[in-house]
Amino acid sequence: MTADTLSDALSAPPARTTVHKVTGRRVLRSEWAKFWSLRSSWITLGVALVLLVAFGAIASATYSPDAVGTDGPPGPGSGGTSDAVSLALTGVTFASLAVGVLGVLLAAGEYSTGMIRSTLAAVPRRLPVLWAKSAVIGPVALVLTGVAALAAFQLGTLGLDGEKIALSIGDDGVLRSLAGAGVYLGLVAVFGVALGMLLRSSAGAIAALVGILLILPGLASLLPDSLYDSINPYFPGNAGSAVYALHQSSDALSPGAGLAVFAGWVALTLAGAAYRLVRSDA
Amino acid sequence: MIEARELTKRYGDKTVVDHLSFSVKPGEVTGFLGPNGAGKSTTMRMIIGLDSPTGGSVTVNGRSYAKHAAPLHEIGSLLEAKSVHPGRTAFNHLMALAHTHGIARRRVDEVIELAGLTSVAGKRVGAFSLGMGQRLGIASALLADPAIVMLDEPVNGLDPEGVLWVRNLLRGLADEGRAVMLSSHLMSETALIADHLVIIGRGRLLADTTVDDFTREAGGGGVKVATTEATKLRSLLAGPDVTIVSSSAEELLVSGRDAREIGAIAARHGVPLYELTAQSVSLEEAFMALTQDSVEYQSAPADTVRKAA
């Protein structure tokens, strides 16, 4: 009797909790939960949205036709003249830093806190973690910043009421530009994840992000003019701003080409991150 | 079951783990011992695939860790206690891990309760004490109800009540038929929990033994006897395997006979004893002697430095 109970106890599998295989969908679910359970995600995302809406609304509200060409946003998208869309999207540059940092924190934050050990112990194949992080933050940033861009534009139309540059949402290219801003910012967030996974340090990855998006084009202006003119549109930041420009300026790529080039940069960085994630010790 | 075969890890020209072979069997608690820097943590990181071996291999239930479809179900581990994002609550941390294996929320609540974290489950981990962090680490190790439990220095930072809890928990897990592996640099603590011992120094295997054998070998410290008739007792106790040394006129240190025998002989011959004590070498001393040897054996230069200092 006692022996039976004992052998029963020994032969019974110790596990009774239902456990399932690790799948891409489950890893995605985990990364989704991880993203929303950090206060820093909410704050950074909130900052990005506020910057986007506030800068756009303020730029539109303070617009005066006399000052054309001086208070337009920087970058080839503006082409030296203001339009209602580029005014509404004044905040994209700042928002891009915020969503980029968001991506960096999601990835490099795991390394700086040691969380990566728990993560990779649960998903030892590793790559699904990188894909899932990208798949969570890309669409989240895309949708929310797209909506914020739309809000910035609608708020801006109030400020531009009666001005000759005023546009409405139904005008040619307006919706495409606003959506383009969302797509660009979604890709920037993924770019941040890739940089964070590649460099494994928040500070390093944020520095790289700022350097690549904002400083690199400035540095390149030191190159000889002919060379500069031909490579300038292909820099990540410049290709990215072509995605959401209403009017394609002469020295910039078309929105489609800009999107392809920027997505290419992001894919390249992701590939580097994937390589390091798989090949080196965590 | 964990099986390491000729496991080796080098960082540049520094060999941290050196052709290490051992196994951790189900139903037993295996203590993984070595001084700080012996390569314990690196070995454990290789077991769950965080570091890849330079040579040799290690398998978990017959396969390399990453090849398992539900790895947390095979082996649950606590490496460093701070393998957690401090901004997340204990519950959310466990839930995030649970999602990867489709583990229900009910089980998360269960391990939180098991680890005694119910009252702080909603608090952010950054505010946890070292002991609470350890409990959270143990909770996440048990999350998927694993066949093997591997804990790196689990009692670090725990209060006496917590140490006792870990001891009973691990005993219980082994009795359920699971394999339990825990690392420590404290021999006396480990001897209380473990059945089997794997002792390493400088990344090399020094001993693969049971706690009982180790204790028996370490226990040969002799018996201290104090008597007013030392000379008489000395001749009474003499025998082929017996050695007797005296530290003073009235004290003898006898090895080869146990205290019971000595007492009986003395009583039979009317020799008055006023002390009769078995002298056990502490496990800690035996452990230190073992690991110290390996250090001396392998690195004369380091030893010279120490002597000079």
Same structural domain for residues B180 and B266?
Answer: no
Q: What is the pLDDT along chain B (309 residues), one digit of tens a residue?
A: 999 999 999 998 899 999 999 999 999 999 999 988 899 999 999 999 999 999 999 999 999 999 999 999 999 999 976 799 999 999 999 999 999 999 999 999 999 999 999 999 999 999 999 899 999 999 999 999 999 999 999 988 889 999 999 999 999 999 999 999 999 988 888 888 999 999 999 899 999 999 888 877 776 667 888 998 888 888 888 888 888 888 788 888 887 788 888 889 989 998 999 988 877 666 777 788 788 766 544 444 444 444 444
Determine, for residues A121 and B72 on separate chains, whether the beta-carbon distance falls below 8 Å.
yes
Same structural domain for residues B62 and B31?
Answer: yes
Determine, for residues A117 and B102 on separate chains, whether the beta-carbon distance falls below 8 Å.
no
Same structural domain for residues B186 and B48?
Answer: yes
What is the domain-level CATH number for residue B14? 3.40.50.300
Determine, for residues B72 and A40 on separate chains, whether the beta-carbon distance falls below 8 Å.
no
Tokens 């010279």 map to which residue? B304
Please give the backbone phi and psi of residue B56, each rounded to the nearest 5 degrees, phi first. Answer: 75, -170
Tell me which residue in B71, B89, B176 faces A14 most closely, judged by beta carbons.
B176
User: Of A41, A26, A61, which Cα lies nearest the Cα of A104?
Assistant: A41
**Is B214 among the domain residues?**
no
Q: Give the model's pLDDT for residue B280.
A: 65
Rounded-to-integer distance, Cα B88 and Cα B90, Å: 7
Determine, for residues B103 and A18 on separate chains, whether the beta-carbon distance falls below 8 Å.
yes
Q: Report the residue of B50, B101, B142 to disrupt the A interface, i.e. the one with the largest count of A CBs within 10 Å.
A: B101
Q: What is the residue range of B42's domain?
A: 2-209
**Is B308 among the domain residues?**
no
3-state secondary structure of B303: helix
Take residue B8 and report the two structure tokens written for it.
């080796």
Same structural domain for residues B147 and B21?
Answer: yes
Tell me which residue in B65, B140, B177 faces A10 most closely, judged by beta carbons.
B177
Q: Give the model's pLDDT for residue B300.
A: 45
pLDDT digits (tens, 9 = 90+) for B161-206: 999 999 999 999 999 999 999 999 888 888 889 999 999 998 999 9
Same structural domain for residues B150 and B232?
Answer: no
Same structural domain for residues B167 and B273?
Answer: no
Same structural domain for residues B192 and B232?
Answer: no
Task: Choose the final residue of a domain: B156, B185, B209.
Answer: B209
Same structural domain for residues B82 and B122?
Answer: yes
- Write the DSSP assignment of chain A as a string of letters: -HHHHHHHHHHS-S--S------HHHHHHHHHHHHHT-HHHHHHHHHHHHHHHHHHHHHHHT--GGGTTTSSPSSTTTTTS--HHHHHTTTHHHHHHHHHHHHHHHHHHHHHHSHHHHHHHH-TT-HHHHHHHHHHHHHHHHHHHHHHHHHHHHHHHHHTTT-TT---TTSTTHHHHHHHHHHHHHHHHHHHHHHHHHH--HHHHHHHHHIIIIIHHHHHTTS-HHHHHHHGGGSHHHHHHHHT-SS--TTS--HHHHHHHHHHHHHHHHHHHHHHHHHS--
User: Of A201, A200, A202, A228, which Cα lies nearest the Cα of A216?
Assistant: A228
Written as one letter, the residue type at A168 is S
Prediction pTM value? 0.84
Q: Report the residue of B46, B89, B99, B150 to disrupt the A interface, i.e. the one with the largest count of A CBs within 10 Å.
A: B99
Residues of chain A under the 70 pLDDT cut: 1-17, 66-81
Same structural domain for residues B184 and B261?
Answer: no
Determine contact: A5 vs chain B, CB below 8 A.
no
**Is B235 among the domain residues?**
yes
Domains held by chain B: number: 2
Q: HSE on the CB side for B53, CA within 13 Å?
A: 24
Q: Bridge partners of B248?
A: B251
Q: Give the model's pLDDT for residue A81.
A: 56
3-state secondary structure of B44: helix
Q: Identify the helix (H) or strand (E) that includes residue B232.
A: helix B230-237
Q: Between the CA of residue B217 and those of B207, B211, B247, B286, what are the distances in Å?
A: 12, 10, 24, 9
Written as one letter, the residue type at A137 is I
Q: Between the CA of residue B157 and those of B128, B139, B151, B209, what are the distances in Å?
A: 12, 16, 14, 28
Written as one letter, the residue type at B57 is S
**Is B284 among the domain residues?**
no
Please report, to the nearest 10 degrees, the dihedral formed by the alpha carbons of residues A122, A126, A127, A130 taken in order: 70
Tell me which residue in A20, A110, A121 faces B48 most closely, judged by beta carbons.
A121
Rounded to the nearest angstrom, the minimum Cα separation between B287 and chain A is 31
Task: Choose the final residue of a domain: B184, B209, B234.
Answer: B209
pLDDT digits (tens, 9 = 90+) for A33-74: 999 999 999 999 999 999 999 999 898 888 877 654 444 444
Q: Give the model's pLDDT for residue A75.
A: 42
Same structural domain for residues B157 and B184?
Answer: yes
